[in-house]
Amino acid sequence: MQAPALRTLQTALHLPDIDGRLGPHTRNAVQAFLQQAAPDTIEDWRSWPAGRQAQLALQLQCRAAGFDPGPLDGLWGPQSRHGAEQLAYLQAHGQPPAPWRQENVPPNPNGWPLERSAELRASYGEPGEAGLVSCPLPYPLRLAWDPATRVERLRCHARVAPSLGRVLARVLDHYGIGQLGELGLDLFGGCYQMRDKRGGSALSTHAWGIALDFDPDHNQLRWNSQRARFARPEYEPWWQCWEAEGWVSLGRSRNYDWMHVQAARL
């Protein structure tokens, strides 16, 4: 953990010394807090090193304050960073930060489930290739890692395929094929991939084939709206096409991972 996150944790634990260091007093306070909280983790947290235990304690403190730090895994990733930053703001200002976007929550006409393991399994079945279909595309996509290669179909979950086709048809209708290429909206970074979330232990929505990445080089995981290409005004119609079908952008919702859009609610 970096010093700012440790200071946030020390403040939450009401320690007398807020120095951003994982010294003996902080480690003892973390141990005492975790013993009392008895968190339900997949692995026994008692076997974790001190830094991971401290991160788990910070995740618990974020949840107690009403902020989502991701799974209780003691690992530092974008969701944990987001939760810690919100908690730090609350400590400094006495109130939670205002949402960086003031718009209403998008509709959910397709009934996409919450991004929780039980809900995802109930809606999409077990992760893996069994639920996938080959979805034809209304316009060809270029592989982000090999732009000379074009794809006219992609594999995604059968349940999201009709919606995906409608979204991309609307995108094509609005931008036209020429502007799609100019804006990088045809740079495809992947859909199905059996893997955990980056920096976490829970399965990614990619493991169900219900998430897509676009133009990853210009919308990197940790970039916020100041750097991400897809946060610019000319991409507003792109996001409106997705949101009309209930798809969720991590960039629009959490202000990181602007490449990513998923058929699961946060």
Query: What is the DSSP secondary structure assignment for residue 240, as one 8-state letter?
Result: H
**What residue ranges do the domains of the chain occupy?**
3-93, 117-262
Predicted pLDDT of residue 106: 73
pLDDT score for 101: 64
Position 99 scores a pLDDT of: 67
The CATH number assigned to the domain with range 117-262 reads: 3.30.1380
pTM as predicted: 0.73
Number of H helices, E strands in the chain: 8, 6
Q: CA 187, CA 217: separation in Å to the nearest integer?
A: 10
Taking residues 69-85, what's their average pLDDT?
84
What are the structure tokens assigned to 256, written together? 């990181």
| Buried b or exposed e, range 106-126, using 16+ CB within 10 angstroms | beeeeebbebeeeebeebbee
Whole-number Å distance between alpha carbons of 230 and 44: 40
129, 124, 154, 131: which is closest to 141 by C-alpha? 154
Q: Is the pLDDT assigned to residue 103 strictly greater than 70?
A: no
pLDDT at residue 200, rounded to an integer: 67
Give the pLDDT score at 254: 87
pLDDT of residue 15: 93
The more confident residue out of 72 and 205 is 205
Count of alpha carbons within 13 angstroms of residue 29, beta-carbon side = 19
- Output phi, psi for 203, to 5 deg: -65, 140
- Do 70 and 198 touch, CB atoms closer than 8 A? no
In the numeric block, which tokens belong to residue 167?
Answer: 């979204």
Q: Exposed, middle or buried, 165 (CB in 10 Å: 0-12/13-18/19+)? A: middle
User: How far is residue 101's CA from residue 119's CA, in Å, rounded to a whole number?
Assistant: 26
75 token code pair: 């690992």
Is the Cβ–Cβ distance between 123 and 160 less than 8 Å?
Answer: no
**CA–CA separation, 168 vs 148, rounded Å?**
20
**Are 232 and 242 a contacting pair, CB within 8 Å?**
no
Q: What is the tens place of the pLDDT at every residue in 115-166?
A: 999 999 999 999 999 999 999 999 999 999 999 999 999 999 999 999 999 9
